[in-house]
């Protein structure tokens, strides 16, 4: 039986993107293949659980949807085994990933959110990155990353593209996100501009 590095399993509402406000159980893995400046994932406590223990814990909550998030789920060696176990338990399973490396079991997921990180631009030029998703969400670390956003839109085929405000030490940088939103939508040939704002609803209303 495989083991997974887990930080937490909990029930909440999806806070971002198209499924905002929908109840789900979150499986939050520990560890990541990137080290973004503002992120404290490396400080996360970690427990080691088998897929059976994870599925049993997920079943304790009254949700049929599961969001596999991190940290970075794709670095879990046996991610496919866990996703299959969750699907066998009747769950709808979504993935949240930084997208640097497409998981081999990508097709098992019902929904994929990719959050590329602008400070790792060169990593997203490699062939192993994810190229297809349901939505792309980019954190506005500065409002000077419009070219990164446009490149990610070219490299990742998705239905929706979002700009999210950065949260540092409890301060949410909305203005930066709005400035970037204007830049990425500027000169769009489409009647409906491609990028929209994704406010992290869970932080605004004070839930996990």
Q: List residues near ligand SF4 by CB under 6 A.
A: 32, 34-36, 39, 41, 70-72, 98, 117
135-140 and 160-168: which strand pairing? Answer: parallel
| Shortest reach from residue 196's CB to ligand SF4, in Å | 21
171-173 and 3-13: which strand pairing? Answer: unpaired
Q: In sequence order, what are the beta bridge partners of 49?
A: 4
Between 16 and 85, CB nearer to ligand SF4: 16
23-29 and 47-50: which strand pairing? Answer: unpaired
Between 54 and 75, CB nearer to ligand SF4: 75
Between 99 and 106, CB nearer to ligand SF4: 99
CB 200 within 8 A of CB 16: yes
Classify 62 as helix, strand or coil: coil
Between 37 and 187, CB nearer to ligand SF4: 37
Rg (CA), the chain: 17
| Shortest reach from residue 6's CB to ligand SF4, in Å | 14
| Shortest reach from residue 38's CB to ligand SF4, in Å | 7
| Shortest reach from residue 117's CB to ligand SF4, in Å | 5
């Amino acid at each position: 039986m495989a083991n997974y590095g887990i930080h937490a399993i909990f029930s909440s509402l999806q806070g971002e993107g198209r499924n905002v406000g929908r109840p789900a159980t979150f499986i939050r893995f520990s560890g990541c293949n990137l080290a973004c400046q503002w992120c404290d994932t490396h400080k996360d406590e970690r427990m080691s659980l088998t897929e059976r223990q994870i599925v049993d814990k997920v079943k304790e909550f009254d949700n049929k949807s599961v969001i596999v998030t991190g940290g970075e789920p794709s670095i879990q060696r046996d991610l496919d085994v866990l996703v299959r176990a969750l699907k066998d338990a009747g769950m709808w399973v979504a993935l949240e990933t930084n997208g640097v490396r497409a998981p081999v079991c990508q097709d098992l997921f019902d929904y994929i959110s990719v959050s590329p990180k602008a400070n790792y631009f060169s990593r997203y030029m490699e062939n192993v990155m994810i190229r297809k998703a349901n939505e792309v969400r980019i954190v506005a670390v500065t409002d000077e990353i419009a070219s990164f956003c446009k490149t990610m839109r070219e490299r990742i085929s998705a239905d929706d593209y979002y700009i999210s405000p950065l949260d540092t030490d409890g301060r949410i940088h909305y203005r930066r996100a709005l400035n970037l939103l204007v830049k990425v939508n500027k000169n769009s040939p489409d009647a409906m501009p491609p990028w929209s704002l994704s406010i992290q609803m869970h932080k605004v209303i004070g839930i996990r």
